[in-house]
Amino acid sequence: MGKRVSTRGIKKHRHYTYEDAACILGLSVQTVRAWKGEGLKVLDQGRPHYILGEALIEFVAKRQQKRTITLAADQFYCFKCRAPKKPFGMMVDYVPINQIRGRLEALCETCERPCQKFSAEASLAALSEVFAIDRRSGSQA
């Protein structure tokens, strides 16, 4: 799984070599070259090959957008199943992190592995209509 990269340093109207693009994005040159096979538009008629800044920004944004998953209020993301899942028996534990925010912990309904997501304490009243919430004391480090 790749890391998220920032496109803030890329100028839309400039062109970049593989090395320049890799340096700006904080990646290896091999990674940027491999993106050509994944659909990155490269001007490869001559040497060196150039990547248009606009095409690079668009490609990186599309790659990162694919990974974004929107969860419904009654779902958790299960890393074992790699999909949004409902908690087993709709039972959830709330572990406060600070006075404002806490962590909802549950078991996946499919594989029964632990799942979690963060939630504001203020939203517990609305979530209690969906889940059976048990409050626990803060995490012990």
Express each pLDDT in 28-71 by its tens digit. 999 999 999 999 999 999 999 999 999 999 999 988 876 678 88
Q: Which two tokens stand for residue 25?
A: 């994005």
Q: What is the pTM of this model?
A: 0.55
Q: Kindly give the pairing relationship between strand 91-96 and strand 132-135.
A: parallel
Q: Tokens for 101, please give them.
A: 């925010």
* Residue 27: strand, helix, or coil: coil
Cross-sheet strand order for the sheet of 114-120: 114-120, 101-107, 91-96, 132-135
Q: Residue 105 is encoded by which pair of tokens?
A: 């912990």
pLDDT surpasses 70 at 141: no
Rg for the chain, CA atoms, rounded: 22
Task: Give me the pLDDT at residue 1, please.
Answer: 43
Distances (CA, A) of 9 to 22, 28, 48: 11, 16, 21
pLDDT digits (tens, 9 = 90+) for 76-119: 999 899 899 999 999 999 999 999 999 999 999 999 999 999 99
Q: Give me the residue spans of the domains in the chain.
A: 15-67, 76-135
